[in-house]
Structure 1
């Protein structure tokens, strides 16, 4: 495993540099929007200005750190630089507006980002020599938005949006896209919500942020573990601009959040930790230490995806549009099956959980590229069937685990569960068991 140094610069006037040691390399990552050789494609700065959002220095730094981590994650190849083709060693040199403040969260940041991406991260903060000047709007939240919520285009975030609007909240939805499929899906959902609840009932914005893998200094990396950090920090930045205590909603069902490895061999690349309670709890600790008062909340952490559907505040509206959402890990792959791109594949972990939820709600209306995985299970030799087979093995193994404390050990396999009482821990155990029961009911039906 080689060590990669990532020098982050906000502008080309920054002359900071280091001399790498043996088996080490250096990449300079420019976040300057005027730099023609930058490794990041985005209009994020123009978007924030257009929206009237002016982040405070700490929130501004946090967003830049998320941009840098996401870009490094996508432009440093695991195959070339990682231990056994996976875990990388990355040291990031980052200019901030308050070095002492960021040094106070250095260890936490290294721990939780490492947990998220499966890499070893080290952060070396340095004082930003450029004094940032800015001027806030006289009124930060003139339209009185009450919550910020992430709206990815997936089924869970759509349910989250419907529930907020049905509860007479006035949400500000934040979306992130990097493909045409994601963008078009989000547009469909925004249009449906506007038709149902009215144009003035909410506001939303779609941010395009994508590392430039065509840059001569970039390496192509297909995994994108750090994308969730960027998405969350986009929402958090906007929430902070609207008000110091505006809550940021992260809508995700409890089973996928826990994302317990289905087999013993799926602890690394297969075990994503996008919304894992340990990671979300860690981010809340970091932002609190930084003095940011906004909080990240997942109100569905104790609900299965099926329960989210049947308990939605407007089930009739949900059932009219649920099939338009995309929950798939790789929706572009449907073209390989001779079908239009942008379909849920039907065979990845999120798609299997999605079909189990639709089955629980009474009707599978979504068109899946693979068809019905129950009637035509993938061949044992087909790689597409690996998640299907893993679920089958996991469900079989669960029949031998009946005691709550044994299940508690099981859910801690993907990460330590933060809890304040035994009752809260048992809630996590219960949602895992109920979620897996939903999948079993679907696969056996």
Structure 2
């Protein structure tokens, strides 16, 4: 496995380097339009515009998360990964308090390995302060926010937004979007929420981080580290508003657990972006850094269908659900003649779970590229993989005992029982979620 060395820098005045080593990439995580830059982002411009004051630890976390996201995107697993998957990174990171970060170094490395399947080794060094730093106001604006929630533009995040707004909370929604349909979906849904709940019902923070392909060594599409960036962005906003502000990640329990559907889907298919163990590990790391906002998923023990059926404004959900994007690759269709981006494919794992939820809650009008129930033969062999995996899993589960379901659930990762969710809850959500999918696939 080839070792990839990367130096992260927060600004151009940082002169740290390896003089005698070649093939060491340097990434400036807050670069501003220079021709050779590898990353462009609006994160720090938005923080400045909104007078968001971050702690040193939150600022370092943001730069780290941006760097990791870019690294994840520009090093192809096929080229640089062991057996086409796991990559080995050695990353040099400037932080305000190296000793503090050193204390959570091993835990952070293991957590990100659990998330991405890669091996990351961190070397923390003291941050050289920029002479001309971004000038943030000394005091935050009085936002009067009750809770902060991630808003991806997917069905789950839209349901979460509706539920919390219906309960009278003034929300801050944090989004990350790539260029393309994802950002457009978020804008349209925010418009619908403002029309319903009023302009003052919530604030939005719409961030983007974009690798510059022409300056990158390669490209990868797995996006595992995006979850860490997502969480870091949301947590930074929550923490800047006060450590008592909860940070919410709305995700149905079946997707969150993401139990491998077959024995061969334990690496590239086994995503852990909101897995409860991953969130538990992150909470401990952030707490050690002094970022004490509570992170939780209120829908951890609910299926997507249950989330939809019990949405606190089902009428609003039914009207605008068609505009949400839950697909793994919503822009893939644009390569087809006459095709357009921003359409759910219908055959990936999130789309199959989504259609099962829509059937349960009697939600219609979502457009899918493929109708996997009435026209499964329209799928090419590769496109049929997720459908076939669900079919095999459902057939296998017919002969699996209740006790053995525990081992099925633990295949996706260990589970912590220090919180309010018991093991039986996790097993129950997996069983109920798969039954929901079965009702869709076998009407």
**1:233 corresponding residue in structure 2:** 232
State how far apart, in whole Å, the 2-side matches of 1:152 and 1:20 are. Answer: 43
> Per the alignment, in what secondary structure is the counterpart of residue 209 of structure 2?
strand
- TM-score, normalising length: structure 2: 0.95
Counterpart contact for 2:6–2:89, Cα < 8 Å: yes
> Per the alignment, in what secondary structure is the counterpart of residue 422 of structure 2?
helix
**1:353 corresponding residue in structure 2:** 353
**1:33 corresponding residue in structure 2:** 31
Q: What is the CA-CA distance between 1:16 and the residue it aligns to?
A: 1.6
1:294 has 2:293 as partner: yes
State how far apart, in whole Å, the 1-side matches of 2:254 and 2:313 are. Answer: 22
**2:440 corresponding residue in structure 1:** 442
Q: What is the CA-CA distance between 1:39 and the residue it aligns to?
A: 1.0
Counterpart contact for 2:256–2:272, Cα < 8 Å: yes
Distance 1:379 1:369, change over 3 A: closer
> Per the alignment, in what secondary structure is the counterpart of residue 239 of structure 2?
helix
Q: What 5-or-longer segments of structure 2 have no aligned partner?
A: none
Distance 1:107 1:379, change over 3 A: same
**2:96 corresponding residue in structure 1:** 97
Counterpart contact for 2:13–2:130, Cα < 8 Å: no
State how far apart, in whole Å, the 1-side matches of 2:230 and 2:177 are. Answer: 9
Counterpart contact for 1:54–1:134, Cα < 8 Å: no
Distance 1:339 1:134, change over 3 A: closer
- TM-score, normalising length: structure 1: 0.95
1:253 has 2:248 as partner: no
> Per the alignment, in what secondary structure is the counterpart of residue 279 of structure 2?
helix
Counterpart contact for 1:262–1:390, Cα < 8 Å: yes
Q: How many residues align?
A: 440
Counterpart contact for 2:8–2:94, Cα < 8 Å: yes
**2:164 corresponding residue in structure 1:** 164
Distance 1:113 1:99, change over 3 A: same
Q: What is the CA-CA distance between 1:381 and the residue it aligns to?
A: 5.9
1:208 has 2:214 as partner: no
State how far apart, in whole Å, the 2-side matches of 1:345 and 1:13 are. Answer: 46
Distance 1:420 1:326, change over 3 A: same
Q: Which moved more, 1:92-101 or 1:221-230?
A: 221-230
**1:244 corresponding residue in structure 2:** 243
> Per the alignment, in what secondary structure is the counterpart of residue 4 of structure 1?
strand
Out of 422, 429, 436, the residue aligned to residue 424 of structure 1 is: 422
Distance 1:18 1:135, change over 3 A: closer
Q: Which moved more, 1:50-59 or 1:376-385?
A: 376-385
1:3 has 2:14 as partner: no
RMSD (Å), alpha carbons: 1.9
1:108 has 2:107 as partner: yes
**1:376 corresponding residue in structure 2:** 375
Q: Which moved more, 1:48-57 or 1:135-144?
A: 135-144
**1:413 corresponding residue in structure 2:** 411
- 1:199-244 CA-partner distances (Å, limit 9, x unpaired): 11111121121111221x4311121110111111111111111112
- 1:310-357 CA-partner distances (Å, limit 9, x unpaired): 011111111111111000000111234543211000000000000000
Distance 1:141 1:243, change over 3 A: farther
> Per the alignment, in what secondary structure is the counterpart of residue 331 of structure 1?
coil
State how far apart, in whole Å, the 1-side matches of 2:421 and 2:291 are. Answer: 29
Q: What is the CA-CA distance between 1:20 and the residue it aligns to?
A: 7.7
